[in-house]
Amino acid sequence: MELIYVLDILGTFAFAISGALVASDQKFDLFGVIIIAFVTAVGGGMLRDILIDAHPINWIGDMNYLYVILIAVISTFLFKSKILPLYKTLFLFDTVGISVFTLLGLQKGLTFNLHPVVAIIMGMISAVFGGVIRDVLTNKIPLIFEKEIYASACLLGGISYLLLNHFGVPKDFNFIISASVIVIVRLISVKFKLQLPKIKDDIFGKT
């Protein structure tokens, strides 16, 4: 569906902007900024494709990803002071990107005849690991390991897609519903600061 491709590109753009902003705060030079924007935007899908042996991998098979990332980096270079106040818009794009990345990754997993659980994992890797690689390359502990950001949302959206798919809901319609699940769960969890539990205490008391 055309719309999904447009949303995919929009999400890639938002991820690339967020990567470029992180890299520029680290005083990286232009080359460093491009690399960080690049891995943030396509790192998750790239890892997914390597794991399931899907060649050519995402950004090699479709040059539009590279062009969008380059436009995002140039925009950040020229208009950083104007972009920062737009963080709400960016957050929305970002959330849309996450939902689209998750479901496209899941669908790709199913196309490759993976076990449904593995397909959900592929969806989550697509959405999450761009940020993980960005954090590793900038020498930080990946944010997503410490703090709920969107892993649960991706998981619930993935389960929703598999369930509806099982009951014969048409793919495109299913995509829109399950993407909405991801967007809504994320907005709710950010609004109410919901967090996943940590292993501090166990059922026997403090460790």
- In our burial notation (b when 16+ CB lie closer than 10 A, e otherwise), range 15-33 reads bbbbbbbbbbeeebeeeeb
Contact status: 87 vs a copy of itself (CB under 8 A): no
Instruction: Supply φ then ψ for residue 51, to 5 degrees.
Output: -65, -35
Element (H, E) at 201: strand 201-202
Instruction: Determine, following the binding rule CB under 8 A, whether residue 192 of this chain makes contact with a copy of itself.
Output: no
Part of the chain binding a copy of itself (CB under 8 A), chosen from 97-105, 138-146, 164-172, 176-184: 138-146
Spatial CA neighbour of 11 closest among 100, 103, 128: 100
CB of 80 to a copy of itself, least distance (A): 5
Which of positions 10-49 make contact with a copy of itself (CB under 8 A)?
20, 23-24, 26-33, 35-36, 46
Among 41, 137, 164, 181, binds a copy of itself (CB under 8 A): 137
Environment class of 202 (CB within 10 Å of its CB; exposed 0-12, middle 13-18, buried 19+): exposed
- Comparing CB distances to a copy of itself, the nearer of 23 and 164 is 23
How many amino acids of this chain bind a copy of itself (CB under 8 A)?
Answer: 63
Residues that bind a copy of itself (CB under 8 A): 20, 23-24, 26-33, 35-36, 46, 50-53, 55-57, 60, 63, 66, 76-82, 84, 114-115, 117-118, 132, 136-142, 144-148, 151-152, 195-200, 202-207
